[in-house]
Amino acid sequence: MGENWDDIADWWVDAVREDPGQSDDTLAILSELLSDSNHSREGDRSRSLTIDLGCGEGQSMRLIDGSVIGTDYSMDLLRRAASAGPVVLGRMPDLGWVRPGVFDRAVSVGLLDVIDDHVSFFSSVALAVRPGGQLLVVINHPVATAPESEPLVDPNGEILWRWGNYLTAGSWPHEAGERTVDLVHRPVGELLTAAATAGWNLDQMIERGPSAASIERFHEYHGQAHIPSLAGFCWTRGPSR
């Protein structure tokens, strides 16, 4: 991707503070996934080690129990995340600096849909997480990232969703303050197949529309509570192949 998140770090920090879609809504899905993941894990959870991939300013790290390490390629955001735990400068999908199988769990919120190699993402995280460990991901829902997808109002005033080029993977620019960030669109089937090929077994998928707080904050979401805007996934790593 061309954009440098150091250049839009201030925009992102403001978005986390002011846009529920970038904070409360994603964190609500992450909390649900974490709670189910905690219930399914055995042993002393306080001793577990989680890596937060694309940790940004650290909002997800602050939700995770046990030890957590954040990684991101923005030095500016990492400086802010350092108050939530140890952080490492790194560029995904490269996790070559990690000892294989060292993590019990990987978490990634808002990263998979801004990087262009999802196949390497799933395989490199599979090497870094131990067999039986988990991968929790939250992204913009692919229904919402499809180029030319948008709301439509039918003659009765009902709000429908235009699918756009849903079946075609690609990226398109999304406003980020005075700059843009490319959001990468992939149909759900491409994501799930890449994860399965890398040895990840799907435990759970959560789909949500914009929350009441998001709709209140951004009136363009009015009437769209029933349209998917975010997706969360929990996978368990199968045995080594």
Ligand X SMILES: C[S@@+](CC[C@H](N)C(=O)[O-])C[C@H]1O[C@@H](n2cnc3c(N)ncnc32)[C@H](O)[C@@H]1O
Structure tokens at 20: 């529920």
Task: Indicate the residue among 60 and 224 with the shorter CB distance to ligand X.
Answer: 60
**CA gap 92, 186 in Å, rounded:** 18
Task: Indicate the residue among 174 and 222 with the shorter CB distance to ligand X.
Answer: 174
Q: Pairing mode, if any, of strands 159-162 and 150-153?
A: antiparallel
Bond prior to 147 in cis (omega within 30° of 0): no
> Nearest approach, Cβ of 9 to ligand X (angstroms)?
8
**CA gap 181, 176 in Å, rounded:** 6
Looking at beta carbons, which residue is closest to ligand X? 56
* Residue found under tokens 């490492």: 88
Secondary structure letter of residue 99 according to DSSP = P
By CB under 6 A, residue 179 contacts ligand X: no
Binding residues for ligand X, rule CB under 6 A, total 20
Q: Per DSSP, what are the bridge partners of residue 176?
A: 179
Binding span for ligand X by CB under 6 A among 38-46, 55-63, 185-193, 206-214: 55-63
By CB under 6 A, residue 5 contacts ligand X: yes
**Residues 58-87 interacting with ligand X (rule: CB under 6 A):** 59-60, 72-74, 77
By CB under 6 A, residue 232 contacts ligand X: no
Binding span for ligand X by CB under 6 A among 103-111, 143-151, 169-177, 184-192: 103-111
Among 29, 64, 92, 191, binds ligand X (CB under 6 A): 92
**CA gap 197, 193 in Å, rounded:** 6
Among 17, 79, 91, 162, binds ligand X (CB under 6 A): 91
Binding span for ligand X by CB under 6 A among 48-56, 184-192, 195-203, 215-223: 48-56
**CA gap 32, 45 in Å, rounded:** 17
**CA gap 231, 195 in Å, rounded:** 15
**Residues 115-174 interacting with ligand X (rule: CB under 6 A):** 115
How many CB atoms are located within 10 Å of the residue 96 CB?
A: 9
> Nearest approach, Cβ of 210 to ligand X (angstroms)?
16
Structure tokens at 236: 């368990």
Q: Per DSSP, what are the bridge partners of residue 16?
A: none
By CB under 6 A, residue 110 contacts ligand X: yes
Q: Which residue ranges make up the site for ligand X (CB under 6 A)?
A: 5, 12, 16, 26, 54-56, 59-60, 72-74, 77, 91-92, 109-111, 114-115
